């Protein structure tokens, strides 16, 4: 095996260094992976630019990246489900497996979950990475490494649509057309929702959403909450019973409640102002439910099946590609607002695997 384990390490805000690290050894139940593609997420960009997200601070050097795929190069003892050469999508959060939440299957809210690239747990912008085999999901030959990396944001969307009770022939409102809003749009469509209205304040993103099949893409910039809700009610045949908030903007939460159907559900995916003011009286009168979303639990198999079957096609979301040695440039591009999804090709060849790259 090559000695090269080039790794991008964040020391502090805007101080990202490429350095060699020892290649780790897989323990019991673990596999050593050669990392393929890593998608940059808003949280990675926030750690890189500000040295923190809302909740977590980079205090010791941290490797970023949690949306990724790779190839198994070595199996630790006790691994029977994978073999060297298998390409996999990696579910980045590994829970304790024994607490009450884990036992009930809601392992996403496990107190002791170790999530890649969340301090102090290192992420995947490194050539070699060790991970438990049962959090690695085999990719079919027809699925590219980039699509494997996109399973992570897709899992957020699958979980959100499930918890929002998205259903066949029912209107859906998605607030925010960033990567998460866009994958939610595609997932809701794949689940038969119709029509779908998506909002944003960025016309480019709305244009993209239309290309991806949004029946209605509304620019809410400069609108009052009431005006936006009124426009949504004119666009949709009836109030949306499923509202998916993916912007984190104060006004979006309120518009979701104003526009949502009586008895409907709004899921809150966006992470915004913790002290946002909501029209609670209206929420009560409408008997709407607001449900939090924290990542996902047990959604990788469904997300992967949707990609493998072609039910969702996420390839257009990848707008920019860089090699690991260009990682600084990749972060600048992810931050400047022009990209939808920036991918970092970590394999040394840089040419990529799979049919679509």
Ligand X SMILES: NC(=O)c1ccc[n+]([C@@H]2O[C@H](COP(=O)([O-])OP(=O)(O)OC[C@H]3O[C@@H](n4cnc5c(N)ncnc54)[C@H](O)[C@@H]3O)[C@@H](O)[C@H]2O)c1
Q: Which residues bind Zn ion (CB under 5 A)?
A: 41, 95-96, 99, 102, 110
Binding site partner of 251, from ligand X, Zn ion, none, Cβ cut-off 5-8 A by kind:
ligand X
- Which residue in the set 92, 251, 257, 347 belongs to the binding site for ligand X (CB under 6 A)? 251
- Which residue in the set 7, 74, 118, 252 belongs to the binding site for ligand X (CB under 6 A)? 252
* Closest listed residue to residue 315, CA positions, set 84, 140, 147, 82: 147
Q: Confirm or reject binding of residue 260 to ligand X (CB under 6 A).
A: no
Looking at the Cβ atoms of 152 and 347, the one nearer to ligand X is: 152
* Closest listed residue to residue 90, CA positions, set 39, 27, 159, 49: 39
- Which residue in the set 180, 317, 324, 330 belongs to the binding site for ligand X (CB under 6 A)? 180
Closest separation in Å from C-beta 181 to Zn ion:
13
Return the range that interacts with ligand X (CB under 6 A); candidates 1-9, 23-31, 176-184, 346-354: 176-184
Residues paired with 242 in a beta bridge = 172, 265
Query: Can you read off the two tokens belonging to residue 344?
Result: 């970092």
Return the range that interacts with ligand X (CB under 6 A); candidates 12-20, 68-76, 166-174, 268-276: 268-276
Binding site partner of 347, from ligand X, Zn ion, none, Cβ cut-off 5-8 A by kind:
none
Site residue total, ligand X (CB under 6 A): 27
Q: Which residue has the tokens 């301090």?
A: 119
Binding site partner of 95, from Zn ion, ligand X, none, Cβ cut-off 5-8 A by kind:
Zn ion
Binding site partner of 54, from Zn ion, ligand X, none, Cβ cut-off 5-8 A by kind:
none
Instruction: Decide if 86 contacts 72 (C-beta within 8 A).
Output: yes
Instruction: Decide if 136 contacts 300 (C-beta within 8 A).
Output: no
CA pair distance 201, 212, nearest whole angstrom: 17
Return the range that interacts with ligand X (CB under 6 A); candidates 4-12, 121-129, 267-275, 312-320: 267-275
Any residues with CB less than 8 A from the CB of 195 and at least 6 apart, and which? 171, 215, 216, 235, 236, 237
Closest separation in Å from C-beta 331 to ligand X:
14
What region does 7 belong to: left with phi over 0, alpha with psi -120 to 50, or beta? beta
Any residues with CB less than 8 A from the CB of 196 and at least 6 apart, and which? 171, 172, 173, 174, 185, 188, 189, 213, 214, 215, 216
Return the range that interacts with ligand X (CB under 6 A); candidates 1-9, 27-35, 263-271, 273-281: 263-271
Closest separation in Å from C-beta 41 to Zn ion:
3
- For 345, the enclosing helix (H) or strand (E) is strand 341-345
Site residues for ligand X, window 186-205 (CB under 6 A)?
199-202, 205
- For 22, the enclosing helix (H) or strand (E) is none
Looking at the Cβ atoms of 44 and 347, the one nearer to ligand X is: 44
Instruction: Decide if 103 contacts 86 (C-beta within 8 A).
Output: no
Binding site partner of 247, from Zn ion, ligand X, none, Cβ cut-off 5-8 A by kind:
ligand X
What region does 78 belong to: left with phi over 0, alpha with psi -120 to 50, or beta? left
CA pair distance 183, 313, nearest whole angstrom: 9
Is cis: bond before 155, omega within 30 of 0?
Answer: no
Q: Confirm or reject binding of residue 11 to ligand X (CB under 6 A).
A: no
- Which residue in the set 76, 106, 294, 339 belongs to the binding site for ligand X (CB under 6 A)? 294
Q: Confirm or reject binding of residue 246 to ligand X (CB under 6 A).
A: yes
Give the residues lining the site for ligand X (CB under 6 A).
Answer: 42, 156, 175-181, 199-202, 205, 220, 246-249, 251-252, 269-271, 293-295
């Amino acid at each position: 095996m090559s000695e090269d384990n080039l790794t991008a390490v964040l020391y502090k805000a805007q101080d990202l260094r490429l350095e060699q690290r020892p290649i780790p050894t897989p323990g019991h139940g673990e596999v050593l992976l050669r990392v393929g593609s890593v998608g940059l997420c808003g949280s990675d960009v926030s750690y890189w630019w500000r040295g923190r997200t809302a909740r977590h601070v980079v205090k010791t050097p941290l490797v970023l990246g949690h949306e990724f795929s790779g190839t198994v190069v070595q199996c630790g003892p006790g691994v029977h489900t994978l073999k060297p050469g298998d390409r996999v999508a990696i579910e980045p959060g590994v829970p304790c497996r024994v607490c009450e939440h884990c036992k009930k299957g809601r392992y996403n809210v496990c107190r002791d979950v170790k999530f890649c690239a969340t301090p102090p747990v290192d992420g995947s912008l490194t050539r070699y990475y060790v991970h438990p085999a049962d959090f690695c999901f085999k990719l079919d030959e027809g699925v590219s490494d980039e699509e494997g990396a996109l399973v992570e944001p897709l899992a957020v969307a699958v979980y959100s649509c499930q918890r929002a009770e998205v259903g066949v022939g029912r209107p859906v409102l998605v607030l925010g057309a960033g990567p998460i809003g866009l994958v939610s749009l595609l997932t809701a469509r794949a689940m038969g929702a119709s029509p779908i209205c998506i909002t944003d304040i960025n016309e480019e993103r709305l244009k993209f959403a239309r290309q991806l099949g949004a029946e209605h893409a509304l620019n809410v910039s400069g609108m009052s909450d009431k005006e936006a809700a009124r426009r949504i009610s004119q666009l949709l045949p009836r109030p949306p019973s499923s509202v998916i908030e993916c912007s984190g903007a104060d006004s979006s939460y309120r518009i979701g409640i104003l526009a949502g159907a009586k008895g409907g559900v709004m899921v809150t995916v966006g992470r915004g102002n913790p002290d946002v003011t909501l029209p609670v009286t209206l929420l009560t009168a409408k008997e709407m439910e607001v449900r939090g979303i924290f990542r996902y639990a047990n959604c990788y198999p469904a997300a992967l099946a949707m990609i493998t079957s072609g039910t969702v096609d996420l390839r257009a979301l990848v707008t920019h590609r860089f090699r690991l040695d260009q990682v600084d440039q990749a972060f600048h591009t992810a931050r400047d607002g022009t990209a939808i999804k920036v991918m970092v090709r970590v394999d040394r060849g840089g040419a990529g695997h799979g049919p679509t790259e």
